[in-house]
Amino acid sequence: MKPELDERYSRQVLFAGIGAAGQAKLLAAKVTLVGCGATGSALASLLARSGVGTLRIIDRDYVEASNLQRQVLFDEGDAADSLPKAIAACRKIATFNSQIIAEPRVSDLRPENADELLCGVDLILDGTDNFETRYLINDYAVQNSRPWIYSAAVGSYAISMNILPAETACLSCIFPKGPAGALETCETAGILNSAVNMAASIATTEALKLLVDDRQSMRRTLLSHDLWRNERAEVSADKPRPDCRTCGGREFVHLAGEGRPHITMCGRNSVQIHERDRPIDLESMSRRLQSLGQVRHNDFVLRFWKEPYEMTLFPDGRAIIKGTTDTAIARSIYARYVGS
């Protein structure tokens, strides 16, 4: 190990579970992180500081001021510039660990691009905020025998589970169907940044165990903590369920895109449109929209305000329409200002 790496990771190398051999494995490891919001940005920070050699960070969103209470890789400048979270995260990582590779992917994980975004890594980490994407990750991971770690945080609640295909239960074993009814989100229940950091710390520790080849030390349960109520619970996940549709029946319905909507809700009183996969020249679009409302853009994102709505447009044609949860209205706004 180079002298500068010896010093950087010296305190971690002293830990018996990692040591010099484990640190070398971390530096050679490749991890994909899906979602770089609250839990995701904490995961990215911890893994980058631990010396995981390559981090591929996938996120579809941009930084807003409301993120700064809990999303540790972003600052006020990122919010003012509406930087995509993946770009902002990788830039920040470069300021405290320029010796690793941080690859930003400003994209929405979909069945069509899952192999491109998730392939070629040792581990997939969940920093998302919805079960639709988690089931897609689970399908891909089980089909390709790729380990992944489910993590979530909302309110004062943190949860995590390791999925080791063919060894442990998969997400569908524990949750055969998505949770019924309206789920609590950060927008409805709020969130403690301490819950975010607990979920990320637990998941990061499990990731380090896997990446240094200490799989026998990995937890085989669905673990949850409620930090406010001082409650802790575990559900066994040590074996696949024989009747599981995914890991037992090898049916990958989410990866096949069955029942997946073209337009998905994003929270924050907004709708995401990802059915228009086409390149957008943000500069020319900005000129076109200037006479129609307020517009601002950079190399990564265009924001357009026409009261009572706000549209955020990405170079791949994806858009987030803020100010409505009605998909018909969102489609209409997109068609009016971008095209059908």
Q: Annotated catalytic sites, by residue?
A: 186
Across the chain, where does the E strand assignment appear?
Answer: 30-34, 54-59, 101-106, 123-126, 148-154, 157-163, 221-226, 231-236, 263-267, 270-273, 294-297, 302-306, 309-313, 319-322
Q: Which distant-in-sequence residues (6+ apart) come within 8 Å of 62 by Cβ?
A: 82, 83, 84, 85, 300, 301, 312
In the block, which residue shows the tokens 């540790």? 72
Q: Say how far apart CA 184 and CA 319 lie, in whole Å.
A: 24
Q: In this structure, are strands 309-313 and 302-306 parallel, antiparallel, or unpaired?
A: antiparallel
Phi-psi region of 224 (alpha: psi -120 to 50; beta: other; left: phi over 0): beta
**Contact status, residue 64 vs residue 16, Cβ threshold 8 Å:** no
Residue 92 in 3-state DSSP? helix
Q: What tokens were used for 58? A: 């996938």
The rounded Cα 304 to chain-centroid distance in angstroms is 25
DSSP 8-state code for residue 112: T
